[in-house]
Amino acid sequence: MARMNTAHAVDFAPAGLESVETVEVTADLLIIGGGNAGCFVAVEAAKLQPGITTVILEKADIRRSGACSAGMDAINTYIPKGKTPEDLVRWSRAQVGGGPLREDLALSNAYELNECVDDLERWGLPILRDEEGNASYRGKWDISIHGEQLKPIMAEKALESGADVYNRVVATGLLMHDGHCAGAMGFGVRDGKFYVFRAKATVISTGGAGTLYKSYTADSTDSGAQIWMCPYCVGSGYAMGFRQGAELTSLEQRWVATRSKDFCGPIDTISVGYKSAIINAKGEHVMDRYKHLGGDAAPRYIRANAPMEEWLAGRGPCYCDTTRLSPEKAHDLLVDYLNERPSFVLFLASRGQDVTKEPIEIYGSDPYIVGGHTGSGFWVTMERMTTIPGLFAAGETAGGNPNKFVGGCAAEGKLAARGALAWMKTRSLAPLDAAQIAAEKARVYAPILRRGQDGIQPVAMKERLQRLMDEYAGGTSQYYRTNEERLDYALRHIKMLQSQFAYLTADSLHMLMEAHETMDRVDVAEAVVHHLKARKETRWAGWQTRMDYPERDDVHFDCFIESRRDPETGTITTFTRPYEQLISGDRQKA
């Protein structure tokens, strides 16, 4: 085990690029992002190939990094006795309105799924069980856990696997050689050094992209990060791959979920698991309006959009009716929250709210690009290789395969590890390209070399982007709706933001990280807008609502929307790929 030492951030004021130290690290396998998927990549690689040298590149500390950093209260998919992996794919397909989705990927994940959850239990994760020892199901597929320690447990196993963990190193770009990925580059947010990681294979598992859109709780004050997705997952993985020409799929299938209002706590599994109905201001059961689509068990995007439609129709606010819960059940509910989002319990206390007397108010979240939940991410092969040879994706970064959640991201970590190991058998380290490294180093440090000069603060550009996306690309303030003209407007302004990257300034290493996160957000947002433009229909209202094309158009759009950015010119093109149904049955039903 080797956790590289970290320390207080140094006072970093380089006179020029030549005074910035470059550190070169070589490994067989590079994992960018030590979250849920990344930890499973490391463990699986060491298991299959003892002695392999693996490096995990992590911008935080892997014990509390990524989407699981606050904890988790459920494993949303665990195949119960009597059900099959094919049944799980049918459910996943119905949850996204019949697709399109990559049923090949989904099925391979489903076959690995339960073993991964069992791994977690063997590693020490408490899974709630009934008297017969069966996992305690909240709904059809999701089981209750006490996951406060979920992330530390995964991280311990990744460290025990022998991987070298470089915490507090921010990845900024891929290292390329002859069109394939040969590693990555980045900088230390504590030591200021420039890092070049060379590897035979690279897995990108940096999580999804929260913070592209403005959260309605962002009052320019103390609540700019009150979102449901981990706000430190900003889409850097998508951005790094996309800038080098990796194909992205389904970015228009944004994840929007019903969440507690004013403090983004989980709701939809609670409403189903605790049988607490969604009601409107009049006390009416909102999902009764959607009986033909499954009512309380309707697909996620319908459940996410339904409360917002009530608001629009003048029947808001809406609530998750917890007032029928017994005191014991209410206690269990709060314990679930303490495991996943403890500060939500504090929020309720700060409202003086007893949930058995007053229902929990709900609202739609800001939109996220998260391939562990919807289909957004890199187009990958069955080996989880992106369209850049040598670059693999797992978890939120891998697209086409929605509803993975914790267990599925773990499963995909294993599959990506196997794919990467098979690839590296025939590969040796690529030679270093000094010009490429010099160019990235200059790009990385440019904002801090401009410190003290007039320019743009990273936070200002971030908030400009977030407002743009919210108002023009279908954010919460617009009830997720957009049209061609708004999207064109968004693209024009995204181009202006990109043309002003050259004015970003940073006074510290932390601000330098913010500058790169902001540039990554802008580049991912550009891809998202192109995807929203390309799908000229409304397939998943709420996740993807086109006011100018309000109907679903199966003739033209029962297919994947893809995008690719030319690495030389930056020009983005969109195109389609066909959907293939592999698992029998009515696509709308599970």
Cα–Cα distance, 478 to 470 (Å, whole number): 7
The least CB distance from residue 355 to other proteins, in Å, is 12
The least CB distance from residue 399 to other proteins, in Å, is 24
Over the window 477 to 516, marking each residue x when it contacts other proteins by CB under 8 A and - when it does not, the resulting string is ---------------------------------x--x---
Among 52, 105, 176, 230, binds other proteins (CB under 8 A): 230
Segment contacting other proteins by CB under 8 A, of 223-231, 305-313, 361-369, 374-382: 223-231
Burial class (CB in 10 A: 0-12, 13-18, 19+), 366: buried
| Cβ proximity to other proteins, 91 vs 274, nearer residue | 274
The SS3 of residue 301 is helix
Segment contacting other proteins by CB under 8 A, of 225-233, 278-286, 491-499, 560-568: 225-233
Q: Does 518 participate in binding other proteins (rule CB under 8 A)?
A: no
**Residues 485/487/491/492 CA torsion (nearest 10 deg):** 20
Over the window 157 to 196, marking each residue x when it contacts other proteins by CB under 8 A and - when it does not, the resulting string is -----------x--------------------xx------
Q: Does 281 participate in binding other proteins (rule CB under 8 A)?
A: no
Q: Does 4 participate in binding other proteins (rule CB under 8 A)?
A: no
The least CB distance from residue 512 to other proteins, in Å, is 11
| Cβ proximity to other proteins, 3 vs 552, nearer residue | 3
| Cβ proximity to other proteins, 99 vs 147, nearer residue | 147
Task: With beta carbons less than 8 A apart as the criterion, state whether 424 and 200 touch.
Answer: yes
The SS3 of residue 535 is coil
Q: Does 327 participate in binding other proteins (rule CB under 8 A)?
A: no
Count of residues in contact with other proteins, rule CB under 8 A: 61
The least CB distance from residue 310 to other proteins, in Å, is 22
The least CB distance from residue 358 to other proteins, in Å, is 12
Residues from 527 through 556 that contact other proteins (CB under 8 A): none
Cα–Cα distance, 372 to 532 (Å, whole number): 19
Over the window 71 to 110, marking each residue x when it contacts other proteins by CB under 8 A and - when it does not, the resulting string is ----------------------------------------
Amino acid at 134: N
Q: Does 284 participate in binding other proteins (rule CB under 8 A)?
A: no
Q: b/e map of 106-136 (b: 16 or more CB within 10 Å)?
A: bbbbbebbbebbebbeeeebebeeeeeeebe
| Cβ proximity to other proteins, 262 vs 284, nearer residue | 262
Q: Does 156 participate in binding other proteins (rule CB under 8 A)?
A: no
Instruction: Give me the residues paired with residue 70 across strands.
Output: none
| Angle, helices 509-534/434-449, rounded to nearest 10 degrees | 110
Residues from 38 through 77 that contact other proteins (CB under 8 A): 59-61, 63-66, 69-70
CB-CB neighbours of 538 under 10 Å: 20
**How far apart, in Å, do the first and last CA atoms of the chain sit?**
44
| Cβ proximity to other proteins, 151 vs 303, nearer residue | 151
Output the 3-class SS for 375-410. CCEECCCCCCECCCCCEEECHHHECCCCCCHHHHHH
Q: Does 146 participate in binding other proteins (rule CB under 8 A)?
A: yes
Contacts with 505 (C-beta within 8 Å, 6 or more apart), sequence order:
447, 448, 450, 451, 452, 453, 455, 456, 457, 511, 515
Q: Does 326 participate in binding other proteins (rule CB under 8 A)?
A: no
Over the window 342 to 361, marking each residue x when it contacts other proteins by CB under 8 A and - when it does not, the resulting string is xx-xxxxxxxxx--------
In the numeric block, the tokens 């289909």 are attached to 375
Among 38, 188, 224, 390, binds other proteins (CB under 8 A): 224
Phi-psi region of 31 (alpha: psi -120 to 50; beta: other; left: phi over 0): beta
| Angle, helices 150-160/103-122, rounded to nearest 10 degrees | 90
3-state helix, strand, coil in the chain (%, to 5): 40, 20, 40
Please give the residue ranges that form the binding site for other proteins (CB under 8 A): 5-9, 59-61, 63-66, 69-70, 121, 124-126, 146-149, 153, 168, 189-190, 217-227, 230-232, 262-263, 331, 334-335, 338-339, 342-343, 345-353, 459, 510, 513
